[in-house]
Structure 1
Amino acid sequence: MNNQELENWHDYEVESRREIVALLRQIGEKHQLIRMLVKGEADVCVTSILEVDPDTNTMVLDRSIDRSQNDRIVAAGEVRCETSLDKIRILFTADELRPTQFEGRDALRADIPATLIRLQRREYYRMETPVSNPVRAIIPLPPELAISTGASSAVFPLHDISCGGIAILDNKLQLDTTIGADFPNCRIELPEIGPVTVTLQVRNSLDITLLNNKSNRRLGLRFIDISRGGMAGVQRYITKLERERNARLAGLA
């Protein structure tokens, strides 16, 4: 989990203090393990919530069995945490970590997070689209590009698709990367399903250097005002991709 992911998922942010406290308590009561990323994936501690105390605005976390790792956690002051609750992924940040005692043993105390991410829907579940049968997104170009290229729109291959949006590859760096920019009247051609017309909104952008040193850009785009029929088409296509992937995995098993 990184800042890019958190930006992608800000729409699933929970800000209600009562709801945050309730979720954290359920995680603790169900003894759900929590991955605490001290320095990303290179330094991970598995912990659990021992207590949530809204009166002091703090929660108590189990400490690492590695003393030096505990020192690093306290020194970091703020760490990313991820866990799940009833198959729903939960992401939050633990701030102001400090040593404490809980029921006679060493533990860690942190402030209750002001917000957390709850990925409760399938929208965040992304399926990569096949390279062998690429999905095309036809997106109108801005007027200045349309004049210079003589084309009113351009074709972009999809990198992945979810029920919330798509990621495309913009290898010619043609599109606006401003967060919140809208591209109306886009057409996504789903193989064996048909075209879906929708407004796409920029949520994130990532410049990539390929192995051949060529540059590429991946744009994360959210569906805006997608029709019920369009969403049904997207869901059918994702189901189709899942079946094909499962068939491949079964063949390899």
Structure 2
Amino acid sequence: MFATLKRAIRGETRDSGEENVTSRSMIVATLHQLKTEHELLSVRVPGCANTASSAILGVKEDQGCYYLDELNQRTTHKAFLSKRKAIINCRLQGMEVRIPCRLIKAGSDGGIALYKISIPNRIIRIQRREYFRLRLNAGLVVPVSVPHLEGRCAAGQAFDLSAGGVGAFIDTRDVPSRGQILTGVSIALPQSPAFKANIEVRFARADEVHHSLRIGGR
């Protein structure tokens, strides 16, 4: 599987290295994953000594924004309102992720502060996992077929691939549970025979914007 993927897709071979991600769909997918997996975010405001924690409450791709929960440090909260920019550092599926923040506006819900943040044009991912990760070239379509998803066959295409996992949009309304095993998943790489693998679901959610299931597995 690793050799087939490596031949078909351009990837990064270093165990650790920065990758600038500018694909909007991949940036939005990352934000959705951070929200779905309830990842803890470390937020630092320039000029502020204290680092605060937060989490993503929701992503509104059609509005070009997402929402952050209240920062747990009052000094950082005040600095964020003043500077209106910050850097988020977090981990996602074995990678470090760095996200620049631009505050659109701050509000509150039930007395708890929340922040409307512009979806950035670029994020940085730092490879620190054992698997060779492969970046899909622009315009490259990698069909994915799931023969047994809640008793039905479903198909879609990958947006992220590594030797240890896959992220894909699947055309279905069925949402599998985390930890569920999808058997016989077929991935068709350009100029290579399709291969099959059993995929353990790590996250899955209905994507209203793309009218499909956003799924990640290993």
Q: What range is the shorter-chain TM-score in?
A: 0.3 to 0.5
Q: Which has the larger radius of gyration?
A: 1
TM-score by length of 1: 0.41
Q: Which has the higher helix share?
A: 1
TM-score by length of 2: 0.47
Q: Which has the higher strand share?
A: 2
